[in-house]
Structure 1
């Protein structure tokens, strides 16, 4: 080996175990060890060894058709403070917003260059929309993502741009200048739109949930079909709900003396 070469550290056991868990998709009823090996790039024997231990810990479950995610993961997810605190404060407002708009209502936070859906209230008027609790989308392709980026430090949209403005539909904003101009307009109005940018046929209107420092902690949105939902008319209702949630979170912080909910990736 030449002196200038460096060894690349082998993934830790924990990293490999997480890669196995990350290999599951929402549509998976069960996945075989061989398929997990293909998805992760790990040897079948390694996947089998990790799967045995993950099953023992309740993070995976063995079924006749293969492996599936275990209930212990769900239990752990319910304990995440940020999800719990935001969800508890947001649910009454989300229910009111759904009642007013008849739309599917989302609560999302930023995680790196993506948005992560903490809670979703479905709507009978719009069945079959693809979003799900725990799902992720590129921040630039969603109303909630643009609402959060508009009220975040400049480094946040810059990070998204560096990662690439990958299209999710023919209507996704994919040029940095266009995205930055749209974020500036969102800062003026407090309202963001997704006009079939996350997927053809789906639209939404979103607004940021602001902390006491004026930066986005999360975002709320009302989502539906492009042929049915008038997102411009829904904007004020979504904005009002987001402002109310921000005030509630600020009041909770004042009462407890604790910090506002954050994640490591949002400290930028």
Structure 2
């Protein structure tokens, strides 16, 4: 006898729908109606409304709920989405921070930038400048590179051309392509200096049940502590295991 499918889908399915909405919001430049969001996300208006209401519920009070009305509120909705999965993500981040005594962030892609959403730190280690809520170009940190490594080359070319029309600093496309291909093969990224002189970021992607990258676990620290065998033998293997654990929690099974 077939089992009845739970209403509203499984947690990984709801998560995937949430990410579709977040990407829609992040790309909007104007106020976006509920009908437009539903059409862009490919789900009903009712489901869209219920999902957005769920995303907007904060697990901890204090800050006002985000309003769904376009790009200006995309960060708020993204943070609300993170609140819905923090129960799974926070213990993994905290375990990594305690083990390595370095700051560990959860990061999401927002267009051509990376948003640092949450951090786990160890009090005994001197804290640097807080990055939660800040955005950085994807090519300046390991998180952005590991999340973009699975994108098509056509998309990356489009992003590069768009960036170069009004801003500077985008790397040579041929160099970026070689670097991202290597990151895709290795399954992790390391970036030196992109977030500031003497700063190293290390990141692994987190995937959902469909294999879609939904975020990245990112460890950040000074180069004097993240060099040589410690990086290769301790931190990278630990991050990879943690990334795989989180991906499994969201329904991903390696092919």
Q: Which residue of 1 aligns with 2:238?
A: 237
Q: Does 1:188 align with 2:185?
A: yes
Q: Does 1:84 align with 2:86?
A: no
**Stretches of structure 2 lacking an aligned partner (at least 5 in a row):** 1-28, 32-61, 67-75
Alpha-carbon distance between aligned partners in 2 of 1:226 and 1:80, rounded to the nearest angstrom: 29
Residue 249 (structure 1) shift: 1.6
Alpha-carbon distance between aligned partners in 2 of 1:79 and 1:206, rounded to the nearest angstrom: 20
Alpha-carbon distance between aligned partners in 1 of 2:107 and 2:157, rounded to the nearest angstrom: 20
What are the within-5 Å matches in structure 2 for residues 120-131 of structure 1? 120-124=119-123, 126-131=125-130
Higher Cα Rg: structure 1 or 2? 1
Q: Does 1:174 align with 2:175?
A: no
Which stretches of structure 1, 4 residues or more, deviate above 6 A after TM superposition?
none
Maintained 8 Å contact 2:98/2:122: no
TM-score normalised over the length of structure 2: 0.62
* Structure 1 residues 72 and 119: alpha-carbon distance in aligned structure 2, compared to 1, 3 A threshold: closer
Residue 151 (structure 1) shift: 2.4
Q: Which residue of 1 aligns with 2:49?
A: none
* Structure 1 residues 156 and 130: alpha-carbon distance in aligned structure 2, compared to 1, 3 A threshold: farther
Residue 197 (structure 1) shift: 1.6
Q: Which residue of 1 aligns with 2:251?
A: 250
Q: Which residue of 2 aligns with 1:264?
A: none
The alignment's C-alpha RMSD in Å is 2.8
Q: Which residue of 1 aligns with 2:99?
A: 100
Q: Which residue of 1 aligns with 2:194?
A: 197
Q: Which residue of 2 aligns with 1:160?
A: 159
Aligned residues: 179
Residue 111 (structure 1) shift: 0.4
Alpha-carbon distance between aligned partners in 1 of 2:247 and 2:207, rounded to the nearest angstrom: 5
* Structure 1 residues 122 and 212: alpha-carbon distance in aligned structure 2, compared to 1, 3 A threshold: same
Residue 214 (structure 1) shift: 2.6
Q: Does 1:225 align with 2:222?
A: yes
* Structure 1 residues 192 and 114: alpha-carbon distance in aligned structure 2, compared to 1, 3 A threshold: same
**Stretches of structure 1 lacking an aligned partner (at least 5 in a row):** 1-10, 15-70, 168-172, 252-268
* Structure 1 residues 125 and 211: alpha-carbon distance in aligned structure 2, compared to 1, 3 A threshold: same
Maintained 8 Å contact 2:199/2:221: yes
